[in-house]
Structure 1
Amino acid sequence: MNSTNPKEIVINAWKTFKTRDAQLIAELFTPDAEWIAPAGNATAVALKHTDHMIGPDQIAQFIASEMHHLFSNVDISFRGIHADGDTVIVEERMRATLPGGKPYENDYCFAFVLSGERIKLVREYMDTRKGWQMIFEPL
C-alpha cells in the first residue's frame, strides 16, 4: 500500500475486498490479524463458520469465497467512514440476495484497528436479530 492515511487504507481495503482475490485481500492484514463478529450471528451459523477469524488467510478466504455461498449480488452502501488515530469506523448497509432469491438487507458497523499500513483487528457489529430473521425465517 502506498498510503499512510488510516481512512484511505480502509477505503482501499474495501475496494480490494470487492475483487474477491484472496491473495490480495490477505496482504491487507497483519500476520496476527483477527476479525471478530457477534457470537452466534446468522451468517456464521448458516455457513457453519466461526465468528472469530484469526490470520490473514482465514479472513481472506471468507471474504473472497465463503461468504458468497450465502450472499450473492452483494451491494454495499457506505453511510460514514470516521478515523481517529489508528482506528477507522465504517458504517454501511449491505444488500444481497440469499439462496432461493430471498432479499437480505442489514446495517453494519466495523471498527478497523491498523498497525502501520495493515489491518490488525476488525470488530464487526450488526443487527443480529434482523439478520437471523432474514436468513432463517420465511418471508
Structure 2
Amino acid sequence: MNISANQRLVTEYLRHMERNDFAAALELAHGDANFWMPGLGNLSKGELLSFFQQVGPMIKSMVFTLHGITEQGERLAVEASGCGELANGKVYNNEYHFLFVVRDGKIALMKEYADTAPASVFLE
C-alpha cells in the first residue's frame, strides 16, 4: 500500500508526540501554523510547545493506534486511539480525530478532537 508524503508527515508528527519529542514534532509545522485543542482553543506553535512542556512530565508513555487516514487534497483526517501511562500511575485512554492541513510539505493546521473527560486522570 502506497502512503503519501502528507500521510508520512502526520504519522511522523504523532510518533514524535508519543516520544514526548515535542520540539521535533513542531519542526514539522510551518512557523505560523495554527493548532486547536478542546478546552485550549487556538494556539500558535510556540504556545503549543509551552503547553506540551508543562504536560509532558505527567506522561510516562503514550501510544497512538491509527485506525485510518483519509486524505483529500491538503486535508487529512486521522482516526486514532491513544493509550498512555501517566507519572501518577493512572492509565489514560482516549479516542481521537485529528484534522491536519498540510501545505508545502509542512503542517499548517492541526485540530484535535477528543473527549475531555478522560483527561481527569491527570489531576487525580
TM-score normalized by the length of structure 1: 0.71
Structure-2 change in CA distance of 1:100 and 1:26 (3 Å): closer
Q: Which residue of 2 aligns with 1:28?
A: 28
Between the aligned partners of 1:20 and 1:70, the Cα distance in structure 2 is 10
Structure with higher strand content:
2
- AA partner of residue 86 (structure 1): E
Letter in 1 for 2:115: D
Instruction: Indicate yes or no: 2:83 matched with 1:121.
Output: no
Q: Could you tell me which runs of 5 or more consecutive residues in structure 1 were left unpaired when the two chains were aligned.
A: 40-49
Q: 2:42 aligns with which of 28, 47, 52?
A: 52
Task: Structure 2: give runs of 5+ residues left out of the alignment.
Answer: none
Q: Structure 2-normalised TM-score?
A: 0.78
Deviation digits for residues 6-50 of structure 1 (CA, Å, limit 9, x no counterpart): 2222123223444544543332111211110112xxxxxxxxxx4
1:62-111 alpha-carbon deviations (Å, 9 max, x no partner):
45x33322221212111111111001111111111224201111111110
Corresponding residue number in structure 2 for 1:83: 71
Q: In the comparison of the two structures, how many residue pairs are matched?
A: 122
Against the structure 1 CA distance between its residues 85 and 75, is the aligned structure 2 distance closer, same or farther, given a 3 Å change threshold? same
Change (3 A) 1:104 1:24: closer
Residue 130, structure 1, aligned to residue 102, structure 2? no
Q: For 1:70 and 1:80, how far apart are their aligned partners in 2?
A: 28
Is residue 59–residue 87 contact of structure 2 (8 Å, CA) maintained in 1? yes
